[in-house]
Amino acid sequence: MTTRAPDSATQTAPVEEARTPPSTSGIRPNPLREGLRLERMAEPCTMVICGATGDLTERKLAPALYNTLLGGFLPPEFTVVGFARRELSDEEFRAHLREGINKHSRNKPVTEAIWDSFARGIEYHRGDFDDPAAYVRLAKRLERIDRDRGTAGNRLFYLAVPPSLYPEIVNQLDRAGLAASGGRRRTGSTRGWTRVIVEKPFGYDLGSARTLNHELGEVFDEDQVFRIDHYLGKETVQNLAVFRFGNGLFEPIWNRRYIDSVQITVAETVGVEGRGEFYDATGALRDIVQGHALQLMAMFAMDPPVEFHAEDLRDEKLKVLRGVKPMSPAEVAANTVRGQYVSGWVEGEKIASYRDQPNVAPGSQTETFAALKLSIDSWRWAGVPFYIRTGKALPSRVTEIAVTFKQAPLALFARAGVPQIDANVLAIRVQPDEGILLRFGAKVPGQGLQIRTVNMDFRYGSSFAVDSPDAYETLLLDAMVGDASLFTRDDEAERAWEILDPILAAWKDEAGGPLHFYGAGTWGPPAADELLERDGRAWRRP
């Protein structure tokens, strides 16, 4: 996991001149942070993007790489090879990446000196993913790049393609001698590491996830595989561990004795936006809960790791997921709600019903909203309900974890005529305004005794006066330095499916309850509110 120290005179790690970022970065390095930067700088390497002409590369990968270079974390030898079917020259591919950076980077437009340095290390490789000859040519190209640019045989393959293509690509890489799993080395004189990044979804259900993990494992060792979930790269999610384990104030109360309940919300204002064919075969549970929401829950609820290393962190997350017991059909009906949006207004824009979207079946039963009540059977969390909700066409775009603490044991101020004080709430905002809010009661100034709920609000942007890096910036750099802390391990992915498969099965045969409808621009169907009202609770309105 990435940790960053603040600028201070105490940060005096020595500077290795040989690893100083290139002067073409256009940035005057702060010597107080130089040691920290060098610890995080990637080794010389080549990143091969399979599916390089797609939307992900334009919107996320190209801006992330540019900003990582801008921050001084990529060496001058770093090289990008785009691999796709489209006929493009190197210059055309460079122009494609530059356009994506100018549109989507948090630092834009590009600075000419920095772009010139970046562009010198960008190449395009045209080929079909099922053509062995394309991989033979790719191997020769990478060997030439190793010689010409000094990338030392270090290769990072990013599979920015549908998961159905993963087996074909990894097997072709293996046959071309580009996988180098375990103790096997690539043919030729170069030596170095090989890693592969795969995007979610990690399977469609438990069976397909196990098949996918097996197919990846036939070619790569597990420590070479980086399953990326961009939510885990967000600053607030990374800060969860620091917030809990670095502050003596919070960890002692992070348990069933003091916490009443936890709510995790992943809300989107948009509908399916032309992705009807994909979404109608996926749904909210597979799209968001299987990865994002369960990973947020695991990060929030895990016990302190023995050490702050990738395997220790992922071991603790797995323990949390193992504590969530799969539900019976009757439990699914009692503890879950699924919904689908109909027409309505969101942020002043009319959104048509889900079933009226292109490539969506007229009578589709796919959920665009899901609400769940989960329990973690562990000593720390026994009896504390975890409520998860996610949906499309909701009133606000927000991701947060809200912790409601138990009421004080004695209504001390009741005799003075003061009504019950609202419970304390800690809201950890993941997006869009990353920060942490604490709500508590305080006396209103003046004569008499009046108590009002007030907020203590920490925001990353205002507190540190710097932009938080995009999640992909953090995760790409982590993969290059070999830090898997923020990536999903194979057993984590499979355990998440073990939790969700019974829910999907019960929903499919309607034993898990009916499909409810909600208007676009509302917070889901009334049944979702009733899920909490039965427990004497209510959803927080972010």
Q: How many CA atoms lie within 13 Å of 75's alpha carbon, on the beta-carbon side?
A: 22
Which tokens belong to 293?
A: 């929401």
- The one-character DSSP state at 524 is S
Q: How far apart are the first and last CA of the chain?
A: 28
What single letter denotes the amino acid at residue 244?
Answer: R
Spatial distance between the Cα atoms of 58 and 104, rounded to a whole number of angstroms: 8
SS3 220: coil
Which tokens belong to 162?
A: 């549908």
Separation of CA 298 from chain center: 13
Q: Where are the beta strands (DSSP E) in 65-148?
A: 79-84, 122-126
Which residue blocks in 339-459 are alpha helix, DSSP H? none
Minimal CA–CA distance to 159: which of 226, 75, 67?
226
Spatial distance between the Cα atoms of 81 and 93, rounded to a whole number of angstroms: 10
Q: Where are the beta strands (DSSP E) in 241-356?
A: 259-267, 336-342, 344-346, 349-351
Q: Are 395 and 346 in contact (CB under 8 A)?
A: yes
Q: Are 346 and 516 in contact (CB under 8 A)?
A: no
125, 214, 292, 309: which one is catalytic?
292
- The one-character DSSP state at 468 is P
For residue 135, the surrounding DSSP H or E stretch is: helix 132-149
DSSP notation for 335-364? HEEEEEEESEEETTEEE--GGGSTT--TT-
Which residues lie below 8 Å from residue 275, measured CB to CB, with a gap of 6+? none
**What Å distances lie between residue 349 and 36, 60, 181, 223, 367, CA to CA?**
46, 26, 51, 46, 22
Which tokens belong to 202?
A: 């990690």
Spatial distance between the Cα atoms of 358 and 203, rounded to a whole number of angstroms: 24
Separation of CA 487 from chain center: 9
What single letter denotes the amino acid at residue 386?
Answer: F
Question: In the beta sheet, which residues pair with residue 419?
Answer: none
For residue 292, indicate whether it is catalytic: yes
Q: Are strands 194-199 and 225-228 parallel, antiparallel or unpaired?
A: parallel
DSSP notation for 9-56? TT--PPP-GGGPPPGGG-----HHHHHHHHHHPPPS-EEEEETTTSHH
**What Å distances lie between residue 389 and 256, 262, 303, 374, 500, CA to CA?**
21, 11, 24, 11, 14
Mind telling me the catalytic residues? Answer: 292
